[in-house]
Structure 1
Amino acid sequence: MADQLQPVQVEDGEFKGWFLSPFHDDYVNLIGPFYYLPDVDGKMQVALKVEQRHLNGGGIMHGGCLLSLADTALYVFAVETFKTSGGVTMQLDAHFLSPGNLGDVVIATGEITRAGQSTIFGRGQIKVGDRMVMTFSGVIKRASKSGA
């Protein structure tokens, strides 16, 4: 069982050296896979390759897909602060700056700016290379032991 919860390192292809998370839900499986890799400072990066299924009617990456990447990244940035419980996103603010295009690898980076007893605050950005696609900030509510 413990082996099933270990990250799996990608051995070849475009994401060689990146990791796939062992934790997936139906929604992540629908839009992913998301790839994870610590940067040189040890902060996690979260990546997604833009496929045809991620595009809107205008032929660019759907804003909802970018928001899903931001939400996932915010949670990944906060994971070490959770201790024994998880959390849920209370607020997610975003600024769309340029499009994600078919074939792009969009990468989210960011940080936790404050971790209180009941809420966690973070911010980040999504880029394609040096091009800024989106900036975001959000608040996560720590899950209580009772689940409320």
Structure 2
Amino acid sequence: MSKIYHQISKKPGFMKHNGGLLFRDLTKDKYQFKTKIKKNHINKVGITHGGYIASIIDAGAGTAVYRSAGNKVCVTISLDIKYIGSSKIGDEIIGDVKIQKVTNTLVFMNCELRSKKNKIAIASGVWKKLNKNL
């Protein structure tokens, strides 16, 4: 288990442009990521935009999938998100990822996103392993 979060958004691209994502391994099948909500993540209503929530789940869970697949590149096949609560500027968002199953070609996961004690979203997804490393 790592107590230290590491920035996974080091290369130019969407996630780095949006503030990056911190990540850590907890066990061989449990991972955690986090970020802080900024003004550019907010919609007209004053809460975190659903598209940003989807993006951090895809990036954070995708990193967990990549690591659980032996650092093989994986692509998202499906990502089912249920939006349950909301967050606002200044909130720290934490995502807990549990790898459910790893096969020769697929990885299955569940994720829960929260801020403080408030559940924001839950997700489940399937990734396809590709035969290449980063």
TM-score, with normalisation over the residues of structure 2? 0.86
**Gapped regions of structure 1 (runs ≥ 5):** 1-16
Q: Call closer, same or farther: CA 1:71–1:22 in 2, change over 3 Å.
A: closer
Equivalences for 1:9-24 in 2 at 5 Å? 17-21=4-8, 23-24=10-11
Q: CA deviation at 1:126?
A: 0.3
Question: Hey, what does 2:108 align to over in structure 1?
Answer: 121
- Which of 42-51 and 30-39 deviates more? 30-39
Larger radius of gyration: 1
Aligned residue in 2 for 1:67 = 54
How many equivalent residue pairs? 129
- Report deviation, 1:120: 0.6
Q: Please provide the CA RMSD for this pair.
A: 2.0
* Offset of residue 144 of structure 1: 3.1
1:70 partner SS: helix
SS of the counterpart of 1:80? helix
> 2:37·2:93 contact (CA, 8 Å) conserved in 1?
yes
TM-score, length-scaled by structure 1: 0.78
Q: Is the 8 A contact 2:75 2:127 kept in 1?
A: yes
Runs of 4+ in 1 over 6 A off after TM superposition: none
**CA offset at residue 66 of structure 1?**
0.3
Higher RCO (Cα < 8 Å, 6 or more apart)? 2
Structure 2: stretches of 5+ with no match in the other structure: none
Report which of the two has the higher share of strand. 2
